[in-house]
Amino acid sequence: MHSKRMRRSLALCLVLLTGLAEGSTAIAQSLSTNPGRFGAMTCQQLWYVEQEVLAEGRVCLKTERARRAFSRAERCISDDEDILPTRARGYLETLREVARGKNCRGF
């Protein structure tokens, strides 16, 4: 009995780790826009990139517009951006600083 429970626990851990690894790959793809280009982007483009990173990181999107734009994203798992890898959080902070400097609404 104990052995069966242990196998189930190990299988669950494997599934979770596989999901996390796949999520990291998706986030890496959404970080493909070089932050050096943020200054040349429109507010709309900055918003889209921000929401893309959040959606691929499985952070729950806050607006209906964002949920519609990324309706095919995997189901969100948290409202908290702390679930994102450190690199993604830094990327978003840089993006948001640029957006605020351009006086983009919502940043």
pLDDT score at 102: 98
Residue 3 resides in a domain: no
Contact 60, 79 (CB under 8 A): yes
Q: Is 104 helix (H, G, I), strand (E, B) or coil?
A: coil
Q: Tell me the DSSP string of 29-71.
A: HHTTS-GGGGGGS-HHHHHHHHHHHHHHTTBPP-SHHHHHHTT
Residue 20 resides in a domain: no
pLDDT score at 18: 43
Residue 31 resides in a domain: yes
Provide the domain limits for residue 75: 26-101
Residue 15 resides in a domain: no
Per-residue pLDDT tens digits for 6-22:
445 444 443 344 444 44
Residue 70 resides in a domain: yes
Count: domains in the chain: 1
* pLDDT at 81 > cutoff 50: yes
Per-residue pLDDT tens digits for 21-76:
445 667 887 898 999 999 999 999 999 999 999 999 999 999 999 999 999 999 99
Contacts of 60 (CB under 8 A, 6+ apart): 76, 77, 78, 79
